[in-house]
Amino acid sequence: MPYLKTIVKYINEALSDTVLKDKRFQKSNIIEIAQALPRKNGKNLEYLPSYVDNDGEAKYVGVDDDYDLIIYHKINSIDVSKATVNRGFGDGTGYQGNIARMSMIVFGRRDKLKLTNDDLSLYLQSNIPEAATKDLLVELQFQAANININSIVLNDLQVFQEEYPGFEFFLKPEQFLFKINYTIESAYLKRCFNNCK
């Protein structure tokens, strides 16, 4: 079960059903999990944010004037530990805890959206769910899956350098780029996962 992909899809659906329903966001591209892929430019490597499907096909998902808003997510790391879940009896042993450190990268056109990066970050942050629904937990076979926002980076240059290593800064004045750092904290019984589906 691709659990992070499923939870990211849940986050995107929550945003699409709330703040992104506004007509300003009609020209949006909301992507699940992307990664940096290299391309050669002379003797140098440049990295581009790309969505890679299960067949290994890649599609560029970064800055693009065809869209007024682009959102994609990245997995930065996963911390693993034992988790204690209160089941009402016993000590809750056998639970595994994962803390996935994630980033939501947001590209926007302030001239089309009529929003600043800090305003849009507030709207998005306010509509990201705090936890998975009970139905989603059952689907994932998880005991818990909580979503916590940790920080927001509004510095265009900093986010650009992290997302486009090897490129010179190419954002236009009417464009912005920011990042919402968040964690997905999950707990599950290890014995529930003995094969890949």
Ordered strands of the 58-60 beta sheet: 35-41, 44-52, 58-60
Tally of domains within the chain: 1
Alpha helices in the chain (DSSP H): 3-16, 110-113, 117-127, 134-140, 156-163
| 0.85 surpassed by pTM | yes
Q: What is the β-pairing status of strands 28-33 and 69-83?
A: parallel
CA distances from 166 to 79, 161, 170, 197 (A): 29, 8, 12, 37
Please check whether residue 54 lies inside any domain of the structure. Answer: yes
Please check whether residue 135 lies inside any domain of the structure. Answer: yes
Please check whether residue 71 lies inside any domain of the structure. Answer: yes
Asked if residues 12 and 51 have their Cβ atoms less than 8 Å apart, the reply is: no
Nearest to 143 by CA among 95, 103, 106, 175: 95
Quote the tokens at residue 159. Answer: 């986010």
Q: Which amino acid is at 157?
A: L
Q: What is the pLDDT along the chain (197 residues), one digit of tens a residue?
A: 479 999 999 999 999 999 999 999 999 999 999 999 999 988 989 999 999 999 999 999 999 999 999 999 999 999 998 866 555 555 556 788 999 999 999 999 999 999 999 999 999 999 999 999 999 999 888 989 999 999 999 999 999 999 999 899 999 999 999 999 999 999 988 766 655 45
Q: What residues make up the domain containing 98?
A: 3-192
Please check whether residue 197 lies inside any domain of the structure. Answer: no
Please check whether residue 123 lies inside any domain of the structure. Answer: yes
How far apart CA 144 and CA 160 sit, in angstroms, is 34
Q: Which amino acid is at 76?
A: N
Please check whether residue 63 lies inside any domain of the structure. Answer: yes
